Amino acid sequence: MKASPTSPSRRRLGLTGKAAVILTLLLLLANLMLGGALMYNSKQAIRSQVDKRMLEVATTAAAMLDGDALEQIRDASQENPHYQAVLNRLTYFQDNIDLKYIYAVRDMGNDSFSFIVDADRKDPAYFGEIVQPSSDALRSAARGKPAVEIIDKPDRWGTFFSAFAPVYNSRGKIAGIVGVDWEASMYNVEVAREAGVIVACCLASLLIGSLIVILATSRLRRRFKTTTAELAALSGGIDCLLEELALQGGQPAPKEAPQDGDEIVLITDRIRALREHVQSRLRHAQTQSFSMIAALSAEYRSLYYVDLDKDEAVCYRADASKSGWKAGETFPYAEAIREYAEQSVAGDFRDGFL
């Protein structure tokens, strides 16, 4: 018994299965690219917002400090009114704005900076403690340009993003620098939150897209299976008929179409095999007809081969004195019939004859 070309026992993927896999992979690749782009843009946007907010807080705090009082601080004594005034102002920012630390430092020269006032209640830097390490943003503020720390650096308080802004005295000179720290872990939490949202959206998109692909290809697969089954049944019936004719005519049976490959390939191979066998049968029939004509030509005085589709007749044997055609001549069949009717058929019967 022949195996069906669409037998479910085949392990290879069919055409629709391959299409579903390819579409799913393309959808996955598109989601990965989109997710990566969104992650990068989201991270850049969060960093930009953090930098902007930190810079705003630092410049606002610097503008609210008295530069003359700041440069007169020489110790952290509770009796020092200038120290208490600056500390109270910085503590207000510490308590009311979402930041980790806020403090004032002084440029000591030679790329060295020391703490003046630190508003942290738990573990403040003591007066005169050297800031470690110094940074490009801190040096930029010492030159009069507010800046945000580009690279977060660890110190004994942890890892932070820092913004610095200069404080000016009444003479317009830099009296000190206000520093604002924001915990790097908070930035990482924001990035992770946005990443989670993006990943969830990408997974949802991939899931919905995969369901659409599965539904579309399954519907197409059902239709294709039906068509394939009908074609397989038809070709199988034709195969049986041709095998029977081949046995009767002494011709070899047609080769069985290969059973491996997808549906389109199987059907194409089967149709090609059928076409080749039919052409072989036609050639065999034509050879037999020519042989029959040759045999009959020995029994009749006049013998013609007529191709009605081409309106063409070939004279195989004829009495030239009666027909006017010689063996081997070709002539228009319809025209010859009309001439014959004009010459040999009475007018009353001519139309019916033609």
Tell me how far apart the alpha carbons of residues 176 and 116 are, in angstroms, rounded to a whole number: 9
Block residue for tokens 């810079």: 55
Sequence-ordered list of residues with C-beta below 8 angstroms from that of 283, at least 6 positions apart, any chain: none
Do the beta carbons of residue 165 and residue 145 sit within 8 Å?
no
Model pLDDT, residue 114: 92
Element (H, E) at 317: strand 312-317
Model pLDDT, residue 113: 93
Tell me how far apart the alpha carbons of residues 255 and 277 are, in angstroms, rounded to a whole number: 9
Model pLDDT, residue 104: 94
Do the beta carbons of residue 178 and residue 61 sit within 8 Å?
yes
Q: pLDDT tens string for the chain (354 positions)?
A: 444 444 444 445 566 677 778 877 888 888 888 888 888 888 888 788 888 888 999 999 999 999 999 988 888 777 788 889 999 999 999 888 888 889 999 999 888 999 999 998 888 888 888 888 788 899 999 999 999 886 555 555 567 788 999 999 999 999 999 999 888 777 778 788 888 888 888 888 888 887 887 777 777 777 777 777 776 676 666 667 656 655 555 555 555 545 555 556 666 776 777 677 677 767 777 776 666 666 555 555 667 778 887 888 888 776 655 666 777 788 888 888 888 778 777 777 777 776
At residue 252, the 3 state secondary structure works out as coil
100 token code pair: 């980790």
Tell me how far apart the alpha carbons of residues 336 and 283 are, in angstroms, rounded to a whole number: 29
Instruction: Please name the amino acid found at residue 201.
Output: C
Tell me how far apart the alpha carbons of residues 8 and 5 are, in angstroms, rounded to a whole number: 9
Q: What are phi and psi of 240, to 5 degrees?
A: -65, -45
Tell me how far apart the alpha carbons of residues 231 and 141 are, in angstroms, rounded to a whole number: 82
pTM here is 0.51
